[in-house]
Chains A and B, each alone.
Chain A
Amino acid sequence: MTYAISVLTLGGITVILAMGLNVQYGWAGDLNLSYYAYVALGAYVCGVMMLPPPNASEGNFYVLGLHQSFFVGTIVAVAVCAVVGLVVGSIALRRVTGDYFAIVTLSVTLIFYTFSDQYAPLFNGPQGIYGVPHAFGGVLRFSYSGYNLFLLGLVAAVLVVVVFLFEVLYRSAFGRTLRAVRDDPISVSAFGISPYRRKLAAYVLGSAVGGLGGVLLLQYVSAFSPAGWSPLETFLLFSGIIVGGVGSVWGVLFGASVVLIGVPQAVLFIPAPAGAATFLPALQNCIIGLIILVFLYLRPRGLFPERSPVLGFDGALKWQSRPVRFVVGRVRTLLGEGAA
């Protein structure tokens, strides 16, 4: 039971992370390799906001140490991620696109990783931050297992809000314009839309959601250190997006759940050779890499490609899945176009 709660909590957090990346990659079309840097930044900032001042005699150094509540920590962490996203995005997106943008963002991640690892006064260097207080620990006095259940509920609530919010945005003029920017930024600018601004908005939104995921991740492990994350983890999130359906909110929800929760769990059933502790994690990454390749080759738009609207009888846009649309299309053909 405890194990299931743990898996679902981590899975939920991973799906939230994939959602944020999908805004940048799926909607705006930017291959952002800096995503996990924002996850780490969110976790670190929330951590140093919640922790008490560092105890130098124990060899701990970090900035802030304000001993604030989880609520304040989360808001500050998400805001910091959004602001950093705004600064990095406004530099990276202004001039470069495509592969070059990917290279710039990868560099940003590597710089941030190295800095957080080597510069101890920032986030305690390689030791990282640990012993972060429980969320709402002062108000809700949960037992250990009770807290785990509470955290799962919190993650689920955040996931529901994120999915709802993104579904609304996807259907709105914002989502529509972003997808047009992704398809052809130059012809979008010819109609009076600044591709740069829209891409920047997507970058900041994705960064903020990444930071929020980082906060939850910090609560899940109650510590965060350079050993616990790597710049390459963004690629795992890409696998969830590619399998589910690039751009599709529900597709990514499904794809990220299957690939990022299902595969790691399935791998555990494979007997590992004795004495090779790194065998299963390595095998897991191999399998996920293979899944990405297979999908890119056979089904590049994913299992549930992004939906597009159909004009309803009442003059409003309806968002139907493909099977429903197929049936509606047949009925319309039978009744004649006049009926529509």
Chain B
Amino acid sequence: MTSSQGGAAADAGLDAGDGCVLEAQQLKKRFGGLVAVQDCSLSLRSHRVTGLIGPNGAGKSTVLDLLSGVERQDDGHVLLRGESIDRMSTHARARRGLIRTFQDPRVWPYLTTLENVLVVGDAKSGYSGWAAILRHRRATARQAANIQRAVDVLSAVELEHMRDRRARELSGGQARLLAFARLAMANPEVVLLDEPLAGVNPILADRLLELIRGMAERGAAVLLVEHNMEAIERVCDSVFVMSEGRVIGTGTWEELRQSEAVVEAYLGTGARV
């Protein structure tokens, strides 16, 4: 099915094993006749922001779907802390600390901003339907702690003034911030970000990049799929480049700028890099 040398190609520029939290080994996915992802191997390390770039249709989002379990690969493996999570659902992976975002912020529109963050806290601290009916003291205390943390998380992204508003009343930028607040509440070990800067103004983009950097500094392994090269250059420790479903290059941004194949495939010959 798969070969153990899968990681080898991917780890150029990274030292394998040490701090590697999430590893994809030779992933393959086809949709009917279309091969979306082929022989895709990559690894993410804690305290690092790893970029994933490539032209539209290169298979970046499919890789995210495979890593997060939204889609199942036809071949290859996904390892979380060295353990196979191939057969796990999205929510089971999330429970183990692997959380992804989507291209849209996908906030829950009829919940308030605070509730949006609270739901994530509820998911972490467990189910409390019965506890609520029985007015269990520990559950009440947990709820209070959750609320306090949710408020803190919202003020960290400067959304505190919107906390009692329904999420559908938020602007596009505020919804993005709320998506980050939910991430902060989840405090995951691995974060997969799917174009978090799409349609965001430069000032907010700066703010979001700071938040991404902050997540890595607190120990998360971050995978950033992004078209904004300036952002990639600013926050990424290393970058994978995909084209036509394959990883065609990997290394630091500086190294990739020198690679002819990468420049040709993605950046274009006249690219300003």
User: A residues near B, CB below 8 A?
Assistant: 165, 168-169, 171-174, 176-177, 179-180, 182-184, 186-195, 201, 247, 306, 308-311, 315-317, 325, 337
Confirm or deny: B108 has a beta carbon within 8 angstroms of a beta carbon on chain A.
yes
Residues of chain B within 8 A of A172, CB atoms compared: 128-129, 131-133
Residues of chain B within 8 A of A309, CB atoms compared: 112, 114-115, 164
Residues of chain A within 8 A of B116, CB atoms compared: 180
Number of A-B contacts (CB under 8 A): 122
| A308 CB, nearest partner CB in chain B, Å | 5
Confirm or deny: B157 has a beta carbon within 8 angstroms of a beta carbon on chain A.
no
Cβ of A306 and Cβ of B110 under 8 Å apart? yes
Cβ of B128 and Cβ of A190 under 8 Å apart? no
Cβ of A184 and Cβ of B147 under 8 Å apart? no
Cβ of A183 and Cβ of B108 under 8 Å apart? yes
Confirm or deny: B124 has a beta carbon within 8 angstroms of a beta carbon on chain A.
yes
Name which of A168, A201, A247 has the most chain B CB atoms within 10 A of its CB. Answer: A168
CB nearest to B154 among chain A residues: A311
Confirm or deny: B248 has a beta carbon within 8 angstroms of a beta carbon on chain A.
no
Stretch at the interface among B17-25, B30-38, B96-104, B251-259: B96-104
| B164 CB, nearest partner CB in chain A, Å | 5
Contact with A along B52-70 (1 / 0, CB 8 A): 0000000000000000101
Cβ of A174 and Cβ of B128 under 8 Å apart? yes
Query: Given A172-B128, A189-B89, A191-B99, is A177 in contact with B68 using a C-beta cutoff of 8 Å?
Result: no
Cβ of A311 and Cβ of B151 under 8 Å apart? yes
| A160 CB, nearest partner CB in chain B, Å | 15
Cβ of A174 and Cβ of B132 under 8 Å apart? yes
Residues of chain B within 8 A of A194, CB atoms compared: 89, 91
User: B residues near A, CB below 8 A?
Assistant: 68, 70, 89-92, 94-95, 99-102, 106-112, 114-116, 118-120, 122-124, 127-129, 131-133, 143-144, 147-148, 151, 161, 163-164, 166, 182, 186
Cβ of A168 and Cβ of B132 under 8 Å apart? yes
**Interface residue from A180, A201, A317 paired with B119 (Cβ < 8 Å):** A180
Residues of chain A within 8 A of B119, CB atoms compared: 173, 176-177, 180, 188, 191, 193
Residues of chain B within 8 A of A186, CB atoms compared: 70, 90, 102, 106
**Interface residue from B118, B133, B182 paired with A176 (Cβ < 8 Å):** B118
Docked Cα-Cα span, A309 to B127, in Å, equals 19
Residues of chain B within 8 A of A188, CB atoms compared: 91, 108, 119
Cβ of A189 and Cβ of B109 under 8 Å apart? no
- The list of the 6 closest CB pairs from A to B, nearest first, reads A172-B132, A174-B129, A192-B94, A187-B106, A183-B108, A173-B122
A-B contact pairs, 20 of them (CB 8 A): A169-B132, A172-B131, A173-B122, A173-B127, A176-B118, A179-B108, A180-B119, A183-B110, A190-B68, A190-B101, A191-B182, A194-B89, A194-B91, A247-B110, A309-B115, A311-B114, A311-B164, A315-B151, A316-B147, A325-B164
| B169 CB, nearest partner CB in chain A, Å | 11
Docked Cα-Cα span, A191 to B99, in Å, equals 6
CB nearest to A310 among chain B residues: B164
Cβ of A173 and Cβ of B114 under 8 Å apart? no
Cβ of B132 and Cβ of A173 under 8 Å apart? yes
CB nearest to B135 among chain A residues: A168
Docked Cα-Cα span, A201 to B129, in Å, equals 10
| A249 CB, nearest partner CB in chain B, Å | 14
Residues of chain A within 8 A of B148, CB atoms compared: 315
Cβ of B182 and Cβ of A311 under 8 Å apart? no
Cβ of A187 and Cβ of B102 under 8 Å apart? yes
| A301 CB, nearest partner CB in chain B, Å | 9
Docked Cα-Cα span, A146 to B115, in Å, equals 48
Cβ of A192 and Cβ of B91 under 8 Å apart? yes
Given contacts A188-B119, A192-B124, A201-B129, 20 further A-B contacts (CB under 8 A): A168-B132, A172-B132, A173-B127, A174-B127, A180-B111, A180-B116, A186-B90, A186-B102, A187-B106, A187-B108, A189-B89, A189-B90, A190-B91, A192-B94, A192-B99, A193-B119, A306-B110, A309-B112, A311-B147, A316-B147
